[in-house]
Amino acid sequence: MILAIDIGTTSAKAALFNPDGSCLALERRSIQGQTGANPLEQEIDPRQWGWALEGLLAALTQGRTGGLRDVQCIAVSGNGPTLFPVDAKGYPLYNALTWMDRRAFDESKEVEATLDRKLDPAYNLPKALWFKKNKEAVYKETRHFMSCPEYICALLSGRWVSFLPAPGYEKIIWDDKSLELLGLDKDKFPPFVRLGEIVGGVSSRAAAATGLPAGTPVVAGGPDFIVSLIGTATTRPRRACNRSGTSEGINLCWEKGLRRHKGLLYMPHVVEPYENISGVISSSGRALSWYMENLNPAPIDQGEFFGLAAKAAPGADSLLFLPYLAGERAPIWNPQARACFIGLSLRHGRAEMARAVVESIGFAMRDVMEVMASTGARVEELRVTGQPSGNAMLNRIKADITQVPIKVPEFREAELLGDLCVALTALGQFPDLAAAAENLVGLGECYEPDVSKKILYDELFALYRDSYRSLEAVFAGLSELPR
């Protein structure tokens, strides 16, 4: 059996697979983050990841003769860029600054000036610099800076490492020269291991606590968006993966040599010789839960929310929503951006507002995809994954707004399936990740765009883009007000 573990933003999940790709068991545990003194501060207690791991393994053990003794390999992935410090004993010294946390705004400017390259406040170097400048005692006591999947690997194997998906990713994680120029202590940043590399074996301590066989190989699965590419077989040009959840990520596989756009991120694909062109939308799914929690007489569940949104016609009666609840990354890269409804009138109610929030996800996705297309990289099919990928209404709206077919993999937990591909490739069952993905990923439903809605959504999308441009200075002014 193969054990796959993925630590998401709001939930952790783990699955047991047969080597043929069939899932034997899948468990999930909720994770609760917290907002700090302002919307840019998004934290989580790293101990929640350890507790979630304990719960997941205990649940997977129940009812299994022999427990987890047949596990041959473990692959671990998780959200990022998320960063926190641990002491010499591996104990967290401070809450993790999640990938949504963008408090290191000033530090990102310092990084840009020092390194002559732009790094969003969400990335590791600005966050590490923030700890040094704002939490001096914590920084001094720090032995390692970690992300969540690296922390889980350490809990299992006792070895502290940093994940490197592929050569070239150092520029958005860290490298020795950048650490030196920024005055950050090199020994606080663990050595890199590559995607699919064995970090170590399950330690005797972890084996006693979990029931896993001591010495079982623990493999670096990498950041969740990377294993999602593998778990959706987004391993050939013109295929794109839409990671749908708290955030919305668009990752397009393409040939190298394309003209660059500053609103997108260009990194090596884990499948050579391709490139991964990506744009991450900060809080699309979080906008849905925000509405469900706050804009009703009492909190509602997802079924009630989409039932409410379905009562409104496409276009939400000319109502728009900008989903920038935690600033925005691609394609505008503005941590000061704010969310807002545009066009509210007395005729609008909760149904139209709910519909506008749902449609904002499609508009945000199209914003990224239009920028990609402007450079010649046009998405021809979009493979959607994550819990929302089973929602027919959401998939139809995405297809209608983007005018691109939405394809749903048969196994929708792409991170876990990607981890399986990584593990089996590490064990030598497949020659490479592309072969593993093509063999194990199957496709189910396909949502074709409704061309009758194209004119409506073309006009609304143009207004969506204009709305942000018109309000950009207002957002900056709001962010600069004293709190």
DSSP 262: T
Whether the predicted pLDDT of 111 surpasses 80: yes
Answer whether residue 129 is part of any domain: yes
Answer whether residue 7 is part of any domain: yes
CA dist 347 and 287 (Å) reads: 22
Instruction: Quick: pLDDT tens for 168-177.
Output: 999 999 999 9
Is this structure's pTM higher than 0.75?
A: yes
Instruction: Quick: pLDDT tens for 129-145.
Output: 999 999 999 999 999 99
Answer whether residue 84 is part of any domain: yes
Q: What is the pLDDT, as a whole number, of residue 36?
A: 78
Query: Could you tell me which residue, 346 or 120, shows the higher pLDDT?
Result: 346
Answer whether residue 29 is part of any domain: yes
Q: What is the pLDDT, as a whole number, of residue 246?
A: 81
Answer whether residue 181 is part of any domain: yes
Question: Which structural domain range is residue 97 located in?
Answer: 2-224
Answer whether residue 407 is part of any domain: no
Q: What is the pLDDT, as a whole number, of residue 451?
A: 96
What is each CA distance from 284 to 244, 297, 443, in whole angstroms? 8, 22, 24
Query: How many other C-beta atoms lie within 10 A of the C-beta of residue 279?
Result: 24
Q: How confident is the model at residue 283 (pLDDT cuts 50, 70, 90)?
A: confident
Answer whether residue 368 is part of any domain: no
Surface-to-core class of residue 266, CB atoms within 10 Å of its CB (0-12 exposed, 13-18 middle, 19+ buried): middle
Interhelix angle 302-309/392-402, rounded to 10 degrees, is 50
CA dist 309 and 427 (Å) reads: 47
Instruction: Quick: pLDDT tens for 354-371.
Output: 999 999 999 999 999 999
Token duo for residue 38? 């302002």
Task: CATH number of the domain at 76, please.
Answer: 3.30.420.40
Per the structure, the count of domains in the chain is 1
Q: What is the pLDDT, as a whole number, of residue 483?
A: 67
Answer whether residue 410 is part of any domain: no
Average pLDDT, the chain: 95
Q: How confident is the model at residue 247 (pLDDT cuts 50, 70, 90)?
A: confident
Instruction: Quick: pLDDT tens for 17-58.
Output: 999 999 999 999 999 988 777 778 999 999 999 999 999 999
